[in-house]
Amino acid sequence: MTLEEKVGKTLAELGATDAQAVESLFAEVCAAMEAERRELITRGAADEREREKLCRKLRDRWLARKGGLASLIDENWLKKAAKESKPVVGRQFNELRYAAASMEVAELVQGVKVVPAPETYMPQTNQPVDVRVSDHAAQVASGLTMPVGPPTDLTLPGYCRPLGSIHPVTRVLREIEEIFLGLGFTIEIGPEVESVYYNFDALNIPETHPSRDDWDTLYIDSKTLLRTHTSPVQIRSMEKYGAPLYIIVPGKVYRHDNPDSSHATMFHQIEGLAVDEDITFADLKGTLDFFAKKFFGERVRTRFSPSFFPFTEPSGEVSISCVICDGQGCRTCKESGWLEVMGCGMVHPEVLQHGGIDPEQYTGWAFGLGVERYAMMKYGINDIQLFYQSDVRFLEQFS
């Protein structure tokens, strides 16, 4: 009985009623599959096209969804097996499927060699064609030697693949991190899928605040969302480490914004948090002024303006003298000479309490900035969408 006839029958029809008989049948199938694979590898193919064709034909014989030997075994042996035989048949079938991975086209192609066609002797006109196989060609066909080809020039240079470069956003992100690491801060990260509590409630953002509306925040469900800022990690870090605490929090954030030259639904932020005894707004101003000079250059000047954020009190906006016109006034700074670069403020007592820190003993300050905005100012880029389009012509400028 041929293999095709056996897989077309059930185990009961084949008389395989015990585990030993089942294992014997599956061993026979595995042996036949391996024999056909080795036969193809030994035979080889005349060219790559024939190799692909032969490999695909063998693969379909065993693994095709309709009519493949493995699918027939599944249909006739496994599914129609008696209840008491199911465990052993299922185990043997799983082992067969594992072994059948070697019958995939990609695996077969790696093992099948392309053997050039035998040399042909072309006689003079009006004489019959006599096909003669040279000794070398016979050795090639048997796998005893490699086909003879033009000699390889080992002095030629190798193939060089073009190397990529660090993305400008990543480059700026690392530069900012290095500055604050030098000041003694540590880096903390947190989940991008965040709870409403950590993203809003613990940060003293009331339910009536506009940022909690559906048209500003991407909600997953009523209690879960894609974080709109990296500030939730501040609460998580205070809960985890307590005070004193000096951290920066880089990461991706998400907003329900319409993409344009200055807005994107996903971008990067860096939050900073310092909590300790006797920390004042003067410490905040000195730290951010130092950071601005390290990042933009010693000539840059900083300016602090009052603002409002639910999680800080008092709050402020930080501006720097325009890096394009050096504070003289231009189109970039709208003739004002100043560019707004981040928000900051003293941490609200309610936020400290949510983080498990006593506001009577400790104070703190925080700031937040957009990494893409800093990259745009540093490299003179006028459209934030360029960062996400994977245009090699754009990215090659930063190699």
Q: What is the pLDDT of residues 9-30, one digit of tens each?
A: 888 888 888 888 888 888 988 9
Reading the block at residue 114, the tokens are 């392309």
Does residue 172 sit in the same domain as residue 55?
Answer: no
- Give 234's pLDDT tier (boundaries 50, 70, 90): very high
Tens digits of residue pLDDT in 49-85: 888 888 888 888 888 888 888 888 888 888 888 888 8
272 is in which domain, residue-wise?
168-398
**What value does the mean pLDDT take over residues 350-357?**
94
> Look-up: residue for tokens 């920066």?
248
pLDDT at 184: 94
Is the confidence at residue 109, as pLDDT, over 90?
no
pLDDT at 134: 47
- Among 171, 204, 208, 232, CA closest to 374: 171
Across 296-305, average pLDDT: 92
Q: How far apart are CA 263 and CA 258, in angstroms?
A: 7
Q: Are residues 83 and 174 in the same domain?
A: no
Q: Name the domain boundary from 85, 111, 137.
A: 111
Contact 310, 348 (CB under 8 A): yes
Q: At which of 74, 92, 111 does a domain end? A: 111
Q: Check whether 186 has a pLDDT greater than 90.
A: yes
Mean pLDDT confidence for 353-370? 95
Place of tokens 């003067």: 282
pLDDT at 145: 53
Q: Is 225 helix (H, G, I), strand (E, B) or coil?
A: strand
Residue 146 pLDDT > 90, yes or no? no
Partnered with residue 347 across adjacent β-strands are 312
Instruction: Tell me the residue type at 36.
Output: E
Q: Which among 32-41, 97-106, 369-378 has the top mean pLDDT? A: 369-378
Residue 380 Ramachandran class (φ > 0 left, ψ -120 to 50 alpha, else beta): left
Give the pLDDT of residue 357.
95
Q: Is pLDDT larger for residue 157 or for residue 227? A: 227
Q: Cis ω on the peptide bond leading into residue 116 (within 30° of 0)?
A: no
Higher pLDDT, 197 or 159: 197
- The residue among 192, 172, 34 whose CA lies nearest residue 103 is 34
pLDDT above 80: residue 133: no
Give the rounded percent of residues in the chain with a pLDDT score beyond 90: 43
- Judge if 75 and 183 occupy the same domain: no
Q: In what order do the strands lie in the sheet with 224-226?
A: 193-195, 224-226, 219-221
CATH at 345: 3.30.930.10
132: in domain? no
Residues 66 and 186 in one domain: no
Q: What is the mean pLDDT of residues 122-151?
A: 52
191 with 89, same domain: the answer is no
Please identify, among 46, 81, 111, the residue that sits at the C-terminal boundary of a domain.
111
The answer to whether position 250 is within a domain reads yes
With cut-offs at 50, 70 and 90, classify the pLDDT of residue 142. low
Mean pLDDT across the chain, nearest whole number? 86
Which pLDDT score is estimated for 179?
95
pLDDT at 277: 94
Tokens of 149: 């080809």
One domain, residues 208 and 276: yes
Number of compact structural domains in the chain: 2
Residue 318 has pLDDT above 60, yes or no: yes
